[in-house]
Amino acid sequence: MFRRIGNVVVRHPVWTIVAWLIAAVAIVATAPSLPSSSDESSFLPKSYESIKAADLQAKAFPSAFTPSAIALYQRTDGGKLTAADQQDVVRITKELGDKHIDQVQKVVPGRPSQDGRYTMTLVQMDSKNAGQPKQADAAKVLRDDVKQLVKGTDLEVKLGGSAAQALDQQDSSKRGEALIGIGTFVIILVTLLIIFRAPILAVLPLFLIGLVSAIANGLIAYATKLFDLQANSSISSILIVVLFGVGTDYFLFLMFRYRERLRAGDEPKQAMINAVARVGEAIASAAGAVIIAFFALVLSTLGFLKQMGPALAIAVTVTLLAALTLIPAVVSLIGPKVFWPSKSWQREPENARFAALGRGVERRPALTAAVSGLVLVALSLGTLGFNATFDLAAGSMPKTKESMVVQDEMQKAYSAGAAAPTDVYLSSTDGKPLDKGTFDAYAKKLGAVDGVANARMTQVNKAGTTADFTVTLKYEASTDKALSAVGKVRDVAHADAPDGTKALVGGMSSIYKDIDAAVNHDYRTVFPVAALLIMLILGLLLRSVVAPWYLIASVGLGFGATLGATVWIFQEAQGKSGLMFMLPVIMYLFVVAIGTDYNILMIARLREEAREGREPREAAGMALRHAGPTVAAAGFILAATFATMMLAGNALLTEMGFAVSFGIAVAAFVMAMFFTPSLTALIGHAAWWPGHADRAEPAALSGAGHPDALPVSGDSRDAVGQDSAGRRG
């Protein structure tokens, strides 16, 4: 199949390129815009209690005041607010309301802090558009207007709240995307220049993957709208890295094999056909593992991850198609001039370092497997200290952003939970009005819960069937203590609800509590499903039942080592309370799926060497010698491109950038180069049971290539002129 694909695109390169250009223009011109939401509640399905509580609030208290923006005032000299200052705040609040800013429904004064140094203006917006870009636009207008109105007074003001956080997230995301994009381009360009010393080869993948990126983003926008998926601004930054990092990996896989075929004496066009035929299965299998793992995120209960999975799967699918069609077509048009001005492509390098590593694996596979395995196990011990944090807003932008400064100052000036109180909605089950005589006792029970600062009944709906009890926690909404406290509030609210009533607990801490439960569900569902599907891909590729088990175990160890190292560096060494809650799921998929790419490439080359008549240990050594440079180059580029996410300046992308880049480095330089080949050498022919995929074929031994054997069973030219040291002519 892959030989036929290579034949078609190389024999008709112009038509192949034209087809891609037409597809790009059509998709980009007609794709819908991709909205983004920063509302954490939209990440959860409606079956969770916090979402049921939010729906009940919308029905029972449609005009309830829930601030979307908070203007926080203090004196410029840091002293206590005077009567004149208070009058200025009242005036500013009224003038803000009179401006009738889009999305703004109500502007009211808030209460001063206990120390008298702070006071607030509370702004309510249309709850239907919570977290949407139009509310971020409203926050921008509010921020500009309130700072203009405060001029000439002794006050300074900052705007916080969810709408302001959405605005700051947008700004932070744009800056982060620019830095990530520039960093990715520079790393790929410089690394390819060093590897090939050919400017055309260094620039070519950037242009081609840029075209692929435009098509992928258009298709993702279509899928998001068609299936009503939840978009998030962080996905754009991840997509840049996935498209260019993975795309460059597949480009390298193909170009290394194309160069080998040219060195073997193939005519240029035939060299590309042979390259696609012989590395196509490895690329397709590697991409298939990534695509299936990403699609496993559809099983997630979180809207953010449910949308990320298909988006990344679409991106990798388009990249795979480009690797098998667009890249071969373009390179076949250019021919060997693509390597200009370097002449090194004309001769086989000795690869002395990788040859030495290969000999080490060949001679001492047990020691190699033990040492590399112990390193992975030791790093994995750090996972025992993992703790999750749930404040996505704080995690997706720097602490210096204005909305984050407001959040920190409010925690100091007011009760830590005042910025995001918890609401307990008590409703009658028979539709009759509630007995108001039970309210005081119920509020006292809620207020007596450990971790609660105070609790009071604040409002009853017109029908008298639902009452809202506002519970202020002692802790900031996303902390472990707040999640523990809201769990206790739920227990008391449910157990002590008067006869004929039921209680639902809402608010941000309740949402975070449910997100925690949803993530734990994903651990139990997404992880095993992704692993089983990847094992299926490996089994089909290798025609083996044994090999997939130890290959998936090795990448599982790589995941543990990655999470452990991330915990030690970001949580223990930096004294953070925890890592972002979604990090292990994302890390698992990237490290397991993409890490499998390098295992596939190495094990495929090992099988090829075995098919040429070599014993398992010798085949492992030769595989490392010849596939090692490709794995090293691809692993370095992909790890370095993911590391650019650390330039974004926010906790989520910094932690994710380090974790995934570290995991890919472990996958490439520990698992694929040492652990996997040494284990395969130790297991020997049994690794391929029940098939005999490693057995030498008569055609291979006689030097007659088998055109359809993949990845390269017909690469018999590699056996020609090979001396006892394994050097190829």
Spatial separation of the C-alpha atoms in residues 256 and 622, rounded to whole Å:
16
| Spatial strand order in the sheet of 452-460 | 452-460, 466-473, 422-428, 501-506
Spatial separation of the C-alpha atoms in residues 431 and 434, rounded to whole Å:
9
What is the H or E stretch that residue 442 is in? helix 439-447
Spatial separation of the C-alpha atoms in residues 295 and 307, rounded to whole Å:
10
Q: What are the tens digits of pLDDT across the range 559-589? A: 999 999 999 998 888 877 788 888 888 788 7
Spatial separation of the C-alpha atoms in residues 285 and 626, rounded to whole Å:
20
CB of 323 within 8 A of CB of 3? no
Q: How far is CA 528 from CA 522, 524, 585, in A?
A: 10, 7, 12
CB of 489 within 8 A of CB of 424? yes
Q: Does 515 score more than 60 pLDDT?
A: yes
Q: Does 117 score more than 70 pLDDT?
A: yes
Helix, strand, coil percentages (3-state) for the chain, rounded to 5, are: 70, 10, 25
More confident residue, 266 or 726: 266
Query: Regarding beta strands 67-75 and 119-125, do their DSSP bridges make them parallel or antiparallel, or are they unpaired?
Result: antiparallel
Query: How many other CB atoms sit within 10 Å of the CB of residue 35?
Result: 15
Q: Does 694 score more than 80 pLDDT?
A: no
Spatial separation of the C-alpha atoms in residues 312 and 293, rounded to whole Å:
10
Report residue 8 CA to chain centroid gap. Answer: 36
Report residue 69 CA to chain centroid gap. Answer: 29
More confident residue, 172 or 335: 335
% of residues, the chain, pLDDT over 90: 35
Amino acid at 14: V
Report residue 102 CA to chain centroid gap. Answer: 34
- pLDDT at residue 103, rounded to an integer: 86
More confident residue, 666 or 46: 666
Region 239-262: what's the mean pLDDT? 86
Confidence of residue 323 (pLDDT cuts 50, 70, 90): very high
Confidence of residue 522 (pLDDT cuts 50, 70, 90): confident
The phi-psi region of residue 205 (left if phi > 0; otherwise alpha if psi is between -120 and 50; otherwise beta) is alpha
Q: Which residue has the tokens 């919570």?
A: 130
Query: Regarding beta strands 579-580 and 388-389, do their DSSP bridges make them parallel or antiparallel, or are they unpaired?
Result: parallel
Q: Which residue has the tokens 């500009």?
A: 144
Region 707-717: what's the mean pLDDT? 35
Q: Which of 242, 249, 133, 232 is nearest to 180 (CA)?
A: 242
Q: Does 494 score more than 90 pLDDT?
A: yes
Tokens of 405: 């400064």
Region 15-25: what's the mean pLDDT? 94
Tokens of 471: 């519970």
Q: Does 199 score more than 60 pLDDT?
A: yes
More confident residue, 361 or 239: 361
- pLDDT at residue 722, rounded to an integer: 33
- Candidate from 113-127, 272-286, 400-414 with smallest mean pLDDT: 400-414
Q: What pTM was computed for the model?
A: 0.74
Tokens of 31: 């794709």
Spatial separation of the C-alpha atoms in residues 281 and 85, rounded to whole Å:
72
Query: Regarding beta strands 155-160 and 67-75, do their DSSP bridges make them parallel or antiparallel, or are they unpaired?
Result: antiparallel
